[in-house]
Chain A
Amino acid sequence: MDGLGFEVRHESDGDSSVDLLRRVQTLMELEEVVRRDVDGRYRPLRGEMNLVHGWFYRAKDGDELREVLEVIYPGAVGNWEAEREARLVQGDWRGAAKRQTGRVQKLIENGEKSVERAEKEHCQGRCGKSPLWMGKKCRAEVGRIPLVCVEPCPIFWDAALGI
């Protein structure tokens, strides 16, 4: 942004004049913006393709830009770096389930179909992240930070359990 830092906005806002967008001033305010969908409902799945638009944030330098990206897509930059540097330890859903509480652990024995269904409906149907733990590859494109999912999220477990 003309040597003055970075301007972050939703891709769909394109080149819209800042006069038409709401300026978000703080990271806490930005967090409140991105944690809600367009109807104001809680948006716990941050990889879901329903990020609201109509706002912009000015980050003064690269460090603040990193904080901004951390708010919008938590972990995305770090996971991307770890993936490029081969630091990501990739397990499967069973290994992740072992670290959960008892009801999730029960999926290991007889929950394979539930997990496959949840992966199809939840991961493929809702989330823009690539689930590495299901053997998916990192969907890297030039000029874009890939969204990778290193391990199943709580919403996935809820879906697999039918909660």
Chain B
Amino acid sequence: MEFKDTALILAGHGSTKNADSSRFTRETAHRLRERGIFAEVRAGFWKEEPSFGDALRGLQSKRAVVVPWFLAKGYFTTQILPREFGETIGVECRVTEPIGSRPEILELVVGRAEKLCRIKKHQPRDVCVLVASHGTGLHAGSRRAAEDLAVGLSKKGYRSARAVFLEEEPKIADWREVVAEDGPVVVLPHFLAGGLHGSEDVPGLLGLSSGAEGWSEVGGREVGYGAALGRPDEMEDMVIRLASAI
């Protein structure tokens, strides 16, 4: 598919508090711009500049494909983005499925779990996995995305795989009760950035001293913490596939 007359907008959440929250989104936008596939490439955010509206008005193109930089078909991707990009003046926008809808996400999450297991030479059958996600009472899709990943992980031979959340039950802070089995626990942050949630909030709730990838001991248990999703080198081809599929 040709995009020579079409702009790409990566539509993310962003943060007013954490400069790194949008780093992967912005880096991916810069990488894709340098590849010259799209007429223009912009990142736009709900919580930082440029806003979605400012990003749109900054375009010279009359057509834009909007790729939601989100992991779930949840509140933002089913309600906010269709509305914000639905009635735009001068630019015809098409919003794709969110990044989290791509099957590669499960592969990436499995890869992070396998990497942690290799470090300690653990076998998957001995390891309990937690997918640590945001969750929201505003939309069930957010929860479903994390639970689907947990199901996918459980089919890879792990002892158990469950989803835990910041804003829904079961809470990340209650992870010891969620993982009834003994033995090592691998926690995979279900966030598209190494921002505040992935690098500080989730590790803090787990009892980890940092959000760095690797193993720690928490209350006598081995806990491996995985890298956040969203690395530009892993995302850019997924973005092109989403844009091409619409």
A interface with B by C-beta (< 8 Å): 26-28, 31, 35-36, 42, 44-46, 66-67, 70, 74-75, 77-79, 81-82, 87-89, 99, 101, 150-151, 153-155, 158
Asked whether A154 and B46 contact (CB < 8 A) given A70-B58, A75-B55, the answer is yes
- A sample of 12 more A-B contacts (CB under 8 A), given A35-B19, A87-B90, A154-B46, is A28-B26, A31-B30, A36-B19, A44-B48, A70-B58, A74-B58, A78-B58, A99-B84, A151-B51, A154-B16, A155-B16, A158-B16
Residues of B in contact with A, size category: 20 to 34
Cβ contact within 8 Å between A78 and B27: no
A-B pairs with the 10 shortest C-beta distances?
A75-B54, A74-B50, A78-B57, A78-B58, A42-B19, A28-B30, A74-B49, A154-B47, A46-B49, A75-B50
Cβ contact within 8 Å between B54 and A150: yes
When distances are taken between beta carbons in the complex, the residues of chain A under 8 Å from B30 are 26-28, 31
When distances are taken between beta carbons in the complex, the residues of chain A under 8 Å from B33 are 27, 67
CB distance from B195 to the nearest CB of A (A): 11
When distances are taken between beta carbons in the complex, the residues of chain B under 8 Å from A101 are 138
Residue of B nearest to A29 (CB): B30
CB distance from A45 to the nearest CB of B (A): 8
CB distance from B139 to the nearest CB of A (A): 12
When distances are taken between beta carbons in the complex, the residues of chain B under 8 Å from A150 are 51, 53-54, 57
B17 at the interface (CB under 8 A from A): yes
CB distance from A128 to the nearest CB of B (A): 13
B59 at the interface (CB under 8 A from A): yes
List B5-36 residues whose CB lies under 8 Å from chain A. 14-19, 26-27, 30, 33
Q: Please report the C-alpha to C-alpha distance between residue A52 and residue B17 in the assembled complex, in whole angstroms.
A: 19
CB distance from B7 to the nearest CB of A (A): 11
Cβ contact within 8 Å between A89 and B57: no
B62 at the interface (CB under 8 A from A): no
B83 at the interface (CB under 8 A from A): yes
B190 at the interface (CB under 8 A from A): no
